[in-house]
Amino acid sequence: MDILWELHPLTVRDVKARLGARSAYTTVMTTLDRLYKKGLLARDKDGLAFVYRPALDRAEYQRRVVEAAVGPLLEQGAGPVLAAFVDVAAGLSPQHLSALEQLIAAKRRRP
Amino acid sequence: MTALGSAVGFGVVFLLVVIAASALGCGVIAVGARALAARGPGAERRAAALAAILPPIAGALVVAALALHSATTIDHCEAHDHHAHLCVAHGGAWLARPWAVAVAAAAAVVMIGRAALLAVTLVGARARVRTLAAAAAVVDDVRVVESPRRFCFVTGVRRPTIYASTAALRALTDDQRAAMLAHERAHVAAHDLLWRRALEVATLIAAPLAPGFLARRWDDATERLRDRDAARATDPAAVAHALIAMCRGEAAWAASMNYAPPVHALTRRVEAVLATPEVEPRAGRGLVIGASALGVSVAAALVAFADPIHHALETLLG
């Protein structure tokens, strides 16, 4: 993804050249194909080869990764994993939250 | 085979004691909920912790007393061979009782299942926290994560770390932000996640529904306790406003999930934090002293009446 964010579109051969001798051609091809199927890359046919480009920019990708990590952490409940300031289970209607604000104001008026 | 049989016999006794004691503990907490609430979140938290930790201790005490009795007294097995013996030397007969083997096996399966579920939860959470850590910017002792969702939590047992989202930090005023972080720092200082993990382990073999019941009680009381710590370090109204501001963001999420939240949870926290006393009462210590006295009494009774208890249990189970 880093290589394609820096420069795109690229073919499998181009990506392999930038990775150096670390990976086999088929490994790079399979990886790019999987990233395409996951919706992280887009591709177009150029002659006999595919050329790949990122489907998301780096910031959007980062946001999705964070959301995918945060969602289950908050929703599986605090439990033995984390102590959240506010449990998502505490979400209330705006009317109820306003009533609580009034409770605080009333408490302030008569300390 | 004798050792395995003895393990089955003593295992059944351990299980019965733990299940009965944890069910009794939950019952006492449920019935005495109002009285505990009047004594403050410290007392509620200690009650939940004791109801989780005492049953396995009681079970181990009973098994230790019975095993010690069978190992140190004259072999009584010849005198009543009509039932299986809770005995380290003649336990093989338990294996001939399918119900005892089935109960011991079922208990082992439940305990392993609960432990596996806990392990899967922890491993999954650790991977997600690593992802967050990689994306976070470190500001003092807080890891700030760019996210449109409002959250702030502490995670990690050995190195508790505070994570807060940019949405949460932007949604709060300076004093509310200080109150929220004071709440999380209080969790870190009190090693709450370590105690929470201990509670989870202690209830691996508790009565059905007891682990969830005790964990919820402990969590609720701990949050109110940390709200109070934050209120003392900052301002009660700032803590209450911060709670509401954070909920305004999550309310939209709850609505999108068609989720009907328990209305009383936040109300109770806001009311509790507004009623924060200057100094936390030490009322909960009475519970610990009472429970310790009860534990010593049970241990003494077990030693004094080991013989009749031994025979009564053998007759009951065998």
What are the chain B neighbours of A78 within 8 Å (beta carbons)?
Answer: 153, 219
Residue B248 touches chain A, beta carbons under 8 Å: yes
Q: Do A83 and B248 touch (CB under 8 A)?
A: no
Report how far apart, in Å, the C-alpha atoms of B251 and of each of A91, B105, B166, B213 are. Answer: 4, 45, 17, 25
Chain center to CA of A23: 26
Out of B131, B148, B187, name the one closest to residue A83 (CB). Answer: B187
> Across the A/B interface, how many CB contacts are shorter than 8 Å?
159
**Cα B89 to the chain's mean position, in Å?**
36
pLDDT tens for each residue of B217-275: 999 899 999 999 999 999 899 999 998 888 877 656 555 555 554 556 788 888 888 88
**Eight-state DSSP code of residue B207:** P
Question: Residue B69 in contact with residue B310, Cβ under 8 Å?
Answer: yes
Interchain pair A91, B259: CB under 8 A: yes
* Closest Cβ–Cβ partner in A83, A97, A103 for B153: A83
- Do residue A83 and residue B184 have CB atoms under 8 angstroms apart? yes
Q: Of B199 and A109, which is predicted with more confidence? A: B199
| pLDDT score recorded for residue B318 | 61
The domain tally of chain B equals 1
* CA dist A106 → B84, B173, B274, B316 (Å): 68, 20, 11, 61
| Burial group, residue B171, by CB count within 10 angstroms (0-12, 13-18, 19+) | middle
Q: What's the pLDDT tens digit per position in B167-225?
A: 999 999 999 999 999 999 999 999 999 999 999 999 988 888 999 999 999 998 999 99
Mean confidence (pLDDT) of chain A: 82
CA distance B311 to B318: 10
For residue B262, how many other CB atoms are within 10 A of its CB?
13
Question: Which letter does DSSP use for residue B283 in this model?
Answer: T
C-alpha to C-alpha distances, B182 to A101, B141, B186, nearest whole angstrom? 21, 11, 6
Which tokens in the block code for residue A6?
């820096």
- All residues of chain A having their beta carbon less than 8 Å from the beta carbon of residue B146 are 62-63, 66
What secondary structure does DSSP assign to B11-59, as a single string?
HHHHHHHHHHHHHHHHHHHHHTHHHHHHT-HHHHHHHHHHHHHHHHHHH
Q: What is the ipTM of this complex?
A: 0.71
Binary contact (A92, B270; C-beta < 8 A) = no
Give the residue on B whose Cα is nearest the Cα of A96. B263
d(CA B301, CA B272): 41
Residue A34 has a pLDDT of 94
Cβ pair B157, A88 in contact under 8 A: no
pLDDT tens per residue across span B23-73: 999 999 999 888 888 888 888 999 999 999 989 998 888 888 777 777 776
pLDDT, one tens digit per residue, over B10-35 is 788 888 888 889 999 999 999 988 88
The pLDDT score that the predictor gives to residue A92 is 65
Measure CB to CB from residue B132 to each of A70, A91, A100 and give the nearest one: A70
The answer to whether the beta carbons of residues B164 and B181 sit under 8 Å apart is: yes
Give me the residue from A72, A89, A107 closest to B261, CB to CB. Answer: A89
Assign A61 a pLDDT band (cuts: 50, 70, 90). Answer: confident
Where exactly are the structural domains of chain A? 2-54, 67-109
d(CA B22, CA B25): 5
What is the domain extent for residue B264?
A: 2-317
Nearby residues of B182 by Cβ (< 8 Å), 6 or more positions away: B229, B230, B233, B234, B239
Question: Within an 8 Å CB–CB cutoff, is residue A108 touching chain B?
Answer: yes
Q: If you average pLDDT over residues A31-42, what whole number do you get? A: 91
Between CA A38 and CA A57 the distance in angstroms is 15
3-state class of A93 per DSSP? Answer: coil
Alpha helices in chain B (DSSP H): 2-31, 33-38, 41-72, 98-135, 166-171, 174-189, 192-202, 210-233, 236-256, 264-274, 284-304, 306-317
Q: Which CATH number fits domain A2-54: 3.40.50.300, 3.60.20.10, 1.10.3720.10, 1.10.10.10?
A: 1.10.10.10
Element (H, E) at A53: strand A49-54
- Cβ-based neighbour number of residue B161 at 10 Å: 19
Q: Which residues of B touch A87 (CB under 8 A)?
A: 223, 265
Tens-digit pLDDT profile for residues B90-118: 666 667 777 777 877 888 888 888 889 88
Most confident of A23-27, B36-40, B189-193, B312-316: B189-193
Contact A82 B244 (CB under 8 A): no
Interchain contact, B154 vs A78, CB within 8 Å: no
Q: Do A96 and B129 touch (CB under 8 A)?
A: no
Q: What is the pLDDT of residue B282?
A: 64
What pLDDT is attached to residue B186? 94
CA distance A53 to A59: 15
- Contact of B149 with chain A, judged by CB distance below 8 Å, is answered with yes
Q: By C-alpha distance, which of B212, B288, B30, B41 is closest to A80?
A: B212
Contacts of A59 (CB under 8 A, 6+ apart): none
Q: Return the amino acid letter for B206.
A: A
Q: In chain B, what residues touch A91 (CB-CB under 8 Å)?
A: 247, 250-255, 259, 261
User: Average pLDDT, stretch A53-68?
Assistant: 86
pLDDT in tens, A80-100: 777 887 776 555 677 777 888
* Closest among A78, A5, A13 to B193, alpha carbons compared: A78
Nearest-angstrom CA–CA distance, B175 and B241: 10
Rounded to whole angstroms, the Cα distance separating B81 from B318 reads: 10
Confidence label for B9 from pLDDT (cuts 50, 70 and 90) = confident
Task: Report helix angle B284-304 to B306-317, nearest 10.
Answer: 90
